[in-house]
Amino acid sequence: MDLLLKNVKKKDLPVLKALAKRLDFEIEVQEKPYNPEFVKEILEAEQSIKDGKGIKINAEDLKNLWKQ
Protein backbone atom coordinates (compact mmCIF):
# COMPACT_ATOMS: atom_id res chain seq x y z
CA MET A 1 0.00 0.00 0.00
CA ASP A 2 1.22 3.53 -0.80
CA LEU A 3 0.55 6.55 1.36
CA LEU A 4 0.99 10.06 0.05
CA LEU A 5 1.37 12.99 2.44
CA LYS A 6 0.97 16.48 0.99
CA ASN A 7 2.00 19.86 2.35
CA VAL A 8 4.24 18.42 5.06
CA LYS A 9 6.17 21.13 6.87
CA LYS A 10 9.94 20.78 6.72
CA LYS A 11 10.12 20.80 10.53
CA ASP A 12 7.85 17.73 10.65
CA LEU A 13 9.72 15.73 8.02
CA PRO A 14 12.44 14.38 10.38
CA VAL A 15 9.75 13.06 12.73
CA LEU A 16 7.99 11.30 9.87
CA LYS A 17 11.28 9.88 8.59
CA ALA A 18 12.16 8.57 12.05
CA LEU A 19 8.73 6.98 12.43
CA ALA A 20 8.93 5.37 9.01
CA LYS A 21 12.39 4.00 9.77
CA ARG A 22 11.21 2.64 13.12
CA LEU A 23 8.31 0.84 11.42
CA ASP A 24 10.49 -0.40 8.54
CA PHE A 25 8.62 1.69 5.97
CA GLU A 26 10.23 3.18 2.91
CA ILE A 27 10.03 6.92 2.64
CA GLU A 28 10.43 8.80 -0.62
CA VAL A 29 10.59 12.57 -0.77
CA GLN A 30 9.51 14.27 -3.97
CA GLU A 31 9.55 18.00 -4.33
CA LYS A 32 7.74 19.69 -7.16
CA PRO A 33 10.02 21.77 -9.35
CA TYR A 34 8.96 25.23 -10.38
CA ASN A 35 7.03 25.55 -13.61
CA PRO A 36 9.69 26.06 -16.34
CA GLU A 37 7.66 28.81 -18.02
CA PHE A 38 7.45 30.69 -14.72
CA VAL A 39 11.21 30.39 -14.20
CA LYS A 40 11.80 31.64 -17.75
CA GLU A 41 9.60 34.71 -17.14
CA ILE A 42 11.40 35.57 -13.90
CA LEU A 43 14.85 35.24 -15.49
CA GLU A 44 13.80 37.38 -18.45
CA ALA A 45 12.40 40.04 -16.10
CA GLU A 46 15.65 40.11 -14.10
CA GLN A 47 17.65 40.45 -17.30
CA SER A 48 15.47 43.31 -18.56
CA ILE A 49 16.04 45.17 -15.28
CA LYS A 50 19.80 44.64 -15.63
CA ASP A 51 19.55 46.00 -19.19
CA GLY A 52 17.94 49.18 -17.86
CA LYS A 53 14.47 48.45 -19.22
CA GLY A 54 12.77 48.61 -15.81
CA ILE A 55 11.05 51.63 -14.33
CA LYS A 56 11.67 53.30 -10.99
CA ILE A 57 8.88 54.58 -8.78
CA ASN A 58 9.22 56.52 -5.56
CA ALA A 59 7.33 55.73 -2.36
CA GLU A 60 4.87 58.60 -2.73
CA ASP A 61 3.86 57.57 -6.25
CA LEU A 62 3.48 54.00 -5.03
CA LYS A 63 1.15 55.10 -2.22
CA ASN A 64 -0.93 57.07 -4.73
CA LEU A 65 -1.10 54.07 -7.02
CA TRP A 66 -2.68 51.96 -4.27
CA LYS A 67 -5.28 54.65 -3.53
CA GLN A 68 -6.71 54.57 -7.06
Which residue ranges make up each domain of the chain?
Answer: 13-67
What pLDDT score was predicted for residue 38?
Answer: 94
Q: What is the pTM of this model?
A: 0.42
The C-alpha R_g of the chain, in whole angstroms, comes to: 22
Compute the distance between CA of residue 25 and CA of residue 35 in angstroms, rounded to an integer.
31
pLDDT tens across the length of the chain (68 residues): 888 888 889 899 899 989 999 999 988 777 778 899 999 999 999 999 999 988 888 899 888 888 86
* C-beta of residue 34 within 8 angstroms of C-beta of residue 43: no
**C-alpha distances in Å from residue 28, one per residue of 12, 21, 25, 33:** 15, 12, 10, 16
